């Protein structure tokens, strides 16, 4: 293997389990263009944190360079390489290619082994909190991979990288020790006397060890299975408690009481979790906790007094709460009445009954029924950024999905909600749905996207049934755009469904003009083309099917879709140095555009009012004939063949005019066009203005007879025209003569 062939490998991020809002994982993909950007995990990230990147081709990796920010280092990290011909990053088989520890500002070179399409970086340890890093985040400021492209015929024969424990197990297996014995020794044969755990956890484990021995004697294997798992959990909890107690003693010695308060709260939570296992298995510690002495009479009386006092305090607090609620209710009613211009001071008689006359008490006057001036409900949404009518509409769909997600929703920057409120979209789906779709948790984002999709698929509220759905349509398009830009594939699929549902009635109502529809499609077309060029197989096919289905709308302009496929083919005059010729661009980008144009010609046909066939031929098809990938050249030939079915002989002349085209490729194009002529119905060749190739003598005779018949028909038609002209001239002459005689 020649080391000169190795080079820095380009890549892009396809998945990330946690990222900060201001430093997403996409910034790592742009480092190859000289932009100094970095990635940070979220403040509430769950470990291990995983980042999956995809190579543009199959790569044999040699090593990588990695560095982090000064205050957000990585304690320990494993690197896996995935290889697969079918499916996406989730379907590939991963094997460990390397591991490293203590990654900081200074770049670290990590040796890697393996061949594959994907590389997974798995950060398995949480860094310690510090004043410079209060949330314990990790970051990557530099990531470069050194490797060489490999074809799919080469088999990966490198050995998987093992850790220290794996090497010991491998040595024991080589010595002849069975695997079951190795796992049994590791899991169960432990001596907790000198283990690094606290004393209370040690007592619990010793009691459980006795229960384990008794269960073995009676062969209660179901109980042993549960007990084995719980003993591991208790051991990990005890080890964590032991570490926290040591750190707490150091914090008290250093008088760092803020950190000591945090450690004390964590210790209480861990001890409560351990006590649940004591109660479950009824250990000796649990018996000590429940073994209460009989109280004396004085203690019993004090306890009763305490309970009565506590009950009285609760009753007073409940009464005060009800008074405050009543005051707030009256205040809100008064504010609503002031806003609506109503005042009930003159209508309500506040004079008590004992101050009125005696006769007035016994007389009951019949009140006249007053007609209500307006029947509008008194709904007053004071803060639309917290709650509005959109939240009322989506409450039935969103709340069950959020409860199923099981995560707490975090507030987002207010600038996002202000922008949506200015556009008029905030009150369509509600503040909660818009806040959730911008959340860091993918479960909350998926729940909000599914709730909006369910809302659009179900019958719409009455306010949208009169055809006034323009605001709903635009809000759904904005929501679908956010979902389709998400890294999670399931959220992306939901975004596609929202887009397809919104373009159909009743969401796309009568007040949505064709100009608005084409404007929206112009925004979504580049996104879908980019996704088609990035994703693989099923997701790629679904994206292509959705792109073609949205352009089946009667108001859609196909020329806009075809012109969007030319974005990588034409030089931008503002940035001429960034232009890459089509024959030098990656295969996936060109292949996506060729497949889209080919499907457009096959399903929609050719309409010269919307796009020109010469633009497709010269801008897209001709440069792709010089691409190094064979599949690109074959797709370009199919596009030319599709154009030939609609245009005809002009395509042959345009193919002949291509300069520097390889003769073999030109013969292949002509053979494909001849094949189309032979497959035409009604005759063996399609008459498109071409000179016929001589075949058999019978066909030549038939063609000669047809020509003679056509000539005879033409001569007969000319004679008939002459006789008709002569008759008409004679009639006109007779009319003139009659008119002259009448005048005389």
The arithmetic mean of pLDDT across residues 358-382, rounded, is: 47
Tokens describing residue 674: 């001849």
Tokens describing residue 715: 């001569």
**d(Cα 89, Cα 93) in Å, to the nearest integer?**
9
CA distances in angstroms from 560 to 505, 582, 624, 640, 736, listed in the order given? 23, 20, 21, 20, 63
Tokens describing residue 57: 């081709």
Q: Specify the pLDDT at position 84.
A: 76
Under the banding of pLDDT at 50, 70 and 90, the label for residue 656 is confident
**d(Cα 190, Cα 180) in Å, to the nearest integer?**
16
**d(Cα 690, Cα 446) in Å, to the nearest integer?**
59
Residues forming beta bridges with residue 59, ordered by sequence position:
116, 149
Backbone angles phi, psi at 83, to 5 degrees: -135, 135
Residue 490, pLDDT > 80, answer: yes
Tokens describing residue 728: 């008409």
For tokens 């429940």, name the residue: 290
**d(Cα 146, Cα 101) in Å, to the nearest integer?**
19
Count other C-beta atoms under 10 Å from residue 306's C-beta. 10
User: What are the tens digits of pLDDT across the range 550-596?
Assistant: 998 888 888 888 888 888 777 777 777 777 888 888 888 888 888 99
Under the banding of pLDDT at 50, 70 and 90, the label for residue 495 is very high
Q: Specify the pLDDT at position 187.
A: 39
**d(Cα 630, Cα 650) in Å, to the nearest integer?**
25
Are 480 and 495 spatial neighbours (Cβ–Cβ below 8 Å)? yes
The arithmetic mean of pLDDT across residues 342-370, rounded, is: 50
Q: Specify the pLDDT at position 175.
A: 65
The answer, yes or no, to whether the previous bond of 506 is cis (omega within 30 of 0) is yes
Report which DSSP code applies to 160. Answer: P
The total number of residues written for the chain in this structure = 744
**d(Cα 433, Cα 417) in Å, to the nearest integer?**
11
Q: Specify the pLDDT at position 475.
A: 92
**d(Cα 115, Cα 61) in Å, to the nearest integer?**
6
Angle among Cα 36, 37, 38 to the nearest 5 degrees reads 130
Report which DSSP code applies to 72. Answer: B
Tokens describing residue 25: 């994982």
Per-position b or e across 488-518, b if 16+ CB within 10 A of its CB: bbebbbbbbbbbebbbeeebbbeebeeebbe
Q: Which residues contact 130 (CB under 8 A, 6 or more apart)?
A: 71
The arithmetic mean of pLDDT across residues 351-358, rounded, is: 53
Per-position b or e across 600-627, b if 16+ CB within 10 A of its CB: bbeebebeeebbebebbbebbbbbbbbb
CA 412 distance to own-chain centroid:
19
**d(Cα 45, Cα 440) in Å, to the nearest integer?**
9
Tokens describing residue 476: 């759904």
Count other C-beta atoms under 10 Å from residue 121's C-beta. 20
Are 441 and 404 spatial neighbours (Cβ–Cβ below 8 Å)? no
The arithmetic mean of pLDDT across residues 164-174, rounded, is: 60
Q: Specify the pLDDT at position 445.
A: 92
Q: Specify the pLDDT at position 704.
A: 57
Q: Specify the pLDDT at position 691.
A: 35
**d(Cα 645, Cα 643) in Å, to the nearest integer?**
5
Q: What is the Cα gyration radius of the chain?
A: 40
| Residue percentage of the chain with pLDDT more than 70 | 78
**d(Cα 158, Cα 150) in Å, to the nearest integer?**
14
**d(Cα 486, Cα 367) in Å, to the nearest integer?**
63
User: What are the tens digits of pLDDT across the range 434-444?
Assistant: 999 999 899 99
User: What are the tens digits of pLDDT across the range 624-638?
Assistant: 888 888 888 888 899
Q: Specify the pLDDT at position 609.
A: 85
- Taking Cα atoms as reference points, which of 513, 507, 447 lies closest to residue 475? 507
User: What are the tens digits of pLDDT across the range 290-315?
Assistant: 765 666 788 788 888 888 888 888 88
Q: Where are the alpha helices (DSSP H) in 218-343?
A: 221-254, 257-281, 284-290, 297-339
Are 507 and 469 spatial neighbours (Cβ–Cβ below 8 Å)? yes
Q: Specify the pLDDT at position 499.
A: 92
């Amino acid at each position: 293997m020649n080391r000169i062939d190795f080079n820095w490998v380009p890549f892009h991020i396809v998945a990330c389990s946690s990222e900060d809002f201001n430093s997403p994982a996409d910034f790592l993909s742009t480092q190859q263009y000289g932009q100094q950007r970095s990635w940070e995990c979220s403040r509430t990230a769950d470990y291990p944190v995983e980042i999956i990147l995809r190579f543009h081709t199959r790569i044999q990796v040699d090593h990588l360079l990695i560095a982090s920010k000064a205050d957000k280092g990585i304690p320990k990290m494993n690197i896996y390489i995935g290889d697969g011909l079918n499916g996406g990053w989730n379907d590939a088989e991963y094997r460990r290619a390397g591991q490293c520890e203590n990654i900081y500002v200074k770049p670290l070179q990590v040796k890697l082994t393996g061949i594959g399409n994907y590389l997974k970086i798995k950060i398995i340890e949480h860094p310690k909190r510090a004043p410079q890093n209060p949330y314990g985040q990790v970051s990557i400021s530099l990531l470069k991979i050194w490797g060489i492209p490999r074809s799919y015929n080469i088999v990966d024969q490198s050995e998987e990288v093992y850790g220290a424990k794996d090497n010991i197990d491998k040595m024991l297996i080589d010595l002849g020790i069975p695997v079951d014995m190795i796992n049994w020794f590791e899991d169960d044969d432990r001596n907790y006397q000198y283990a690094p755990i606290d004393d209370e956890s040690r007592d619990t484990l010793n009691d459980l060890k006795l229960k384990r021995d008794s269960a073995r004697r009676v062969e209660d294997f179901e109980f042993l299975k549960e007990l084995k798992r719980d003993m591991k959990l208790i051991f990990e909890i005890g080890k964590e408690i032991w570490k926290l107690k040591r750190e707490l003693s150091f914090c008290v010695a250093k008088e760092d009481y803020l950190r000591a308060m945090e450690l004390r709260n964590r210790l209480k939570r861990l001890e409560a979790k351990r006590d649940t296992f004591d109660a479950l298995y009824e250990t000796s510690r649990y018996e000590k906790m429940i073994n209460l002495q009989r109280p004396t009479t004085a203690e019993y009386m004090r306890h009763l007094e305490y309970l009565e006092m506590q009950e009285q305090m609760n009753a007073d607090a409940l009464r005060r709460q009800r008074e405050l609620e009543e005051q707030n209710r009256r205040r809100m009613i008064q504010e609503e009445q002031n806003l609506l211009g109503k005042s009930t001071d003159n209508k309500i008689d506040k004079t008590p009954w004992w101050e009125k006359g005696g006769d007035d008490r016994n007389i009951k006057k019949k009140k006249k029924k007053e007609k209500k001036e307006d029947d509008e409900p008194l709904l007053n949404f004071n803060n639309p950024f917290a709650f509005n009518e959109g939240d009322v509409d989506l409450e039935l769909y969103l709340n069950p999905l959020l409860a199923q997600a099981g995560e707490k929703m975090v507030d987002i920057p207010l600038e996002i909600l202000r922008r949506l409120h200015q556009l008029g979209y905030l009150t369509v789906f509600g503040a909660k749905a818009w806040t959730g779709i911008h959340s860091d948790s993918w479960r909350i984002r998926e729940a909000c996207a599914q709730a909006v999709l369910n809302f659009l698929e179900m019958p719409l509220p009455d306010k949208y049934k009169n055809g006034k759905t323009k605001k709903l349509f635009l809000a759904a398009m904005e929501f679908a755009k956010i979902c389709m830009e998400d890294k999670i594939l399931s959220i992306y699929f939901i975004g596609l469904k929202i887009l397809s549902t919104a373009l159909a009635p009743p969401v796309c109502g009568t007040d949505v003009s064709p100009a608005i529809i084409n404007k929206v499609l112009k925004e979504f077309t580049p996104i879908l083309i980019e996704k088609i060029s990035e994703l693989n197989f099923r997701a790629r096919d679904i994206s292509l099917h959705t792109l073609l289905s949205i352009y089946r709308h009667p108001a859609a302009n196909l020329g806009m879709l075809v012109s969007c496929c030319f974005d990588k083919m034409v030089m931008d005059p503002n940035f001429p140095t960034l232009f890459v010729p089509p024959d030098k661009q990656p295969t996936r980008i060109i292949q996506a555009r060729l497949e889209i144009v080919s499907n457009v010609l096959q399903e929609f046909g050719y309409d010269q009012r919307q796009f020109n066939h010469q633009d497709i031929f010269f801008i897209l098809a001709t440069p792709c004939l010089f691409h190094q990938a064979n599949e690109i050249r074959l797709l370009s030939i199919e596009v030319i063949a599709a154009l030939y079915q609609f245009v005809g002989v002009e395509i042959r002349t345009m193919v002949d005019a291509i300069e520097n085209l390889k003769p073999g490729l030109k013969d292949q194009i002509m053979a494909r066009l001849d094949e189309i002529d032979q497959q035409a119905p009604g005759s063996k060749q399609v008459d498109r203005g071409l000179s016929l190739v001589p075949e058999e003598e019978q066909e030549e005779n038939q063609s000669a007879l047809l020509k003679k018949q056509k000539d005879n028909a033409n001569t007969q038609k000319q004679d008939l025209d002459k006789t008709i002209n002569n008759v008409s001239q004679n009639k006109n002459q007779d009319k003139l003569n009659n008119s002259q005689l009448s005048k005389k």
